Amino acid sequence: MKTLPDILKKEGYQKIKFTVSKTQHLLLKVRINGILGHFILDTGASNTCVGFEGVSFFQLIAGSSPTKAAGAGGTGMETLLSSHNQLKIGRWQVNDFSIVIFDLSHVNEALKHYKASSVHGIIGADVLLKGEAIIDYSNQWLYLKKSNLSPFSKPFH
């Protein structure tokens, strides 16, 4: 009998380990432009984003964005946009990737309140949809399909 990992490997999926924080967030190690960061995997977030501090940390070139962010921290938050980035999760990789930049201090303040580690950003549905993601919660594996890794032109709005 074949296991789920065997079937998904045959279908071209990459297997990526995640951890669960004490706040029940799913945590991933992600490289942006070759620089390692810690991210929350958020199936409810439409776009992958980093905090304003991530601009220099990940060597992003930030431009203006007409989009306002909304989430647990409120609505109407100002954003910036950075295009032409490399995003790598495990061995799964996308080049020419767009990242939304906005104030994530409310996220990290909440994590700090629970004595949890801060994060650099959030992996959103843009990655999950592109990678045809399958999340194995009980074994803490994220599967992303490695075929058809064409670039993103811009994030969802």
Domains, the chain, with CATH or none: 4-145 (2.40.70.10)
- pLDDT per residue, tens digit, the chain (157 aa), is 789 899 999 999 999 999 999 999 999 999 999 999 999 999 999 999 999 999 999 999 987 666 655 455 555 568 899 999 999 999 999 998 999 999 999 899 999 999 999 999 999 999 999 999 999 999 999 999 985 444 443 444 4
Contacts of 83 (CB under 8 A, 6+ apart): 61, 63, 96, 97, 98, 154
Question: Taking CA 155 as the corner, what is the angle to CA 154 and CA 157, rounded to the nearest 5 degrees?
Answer: 120
- Could you tell me the sign of the dihedral formed by the alpha carbons of 141, 43, 149, 32, in that order? negative
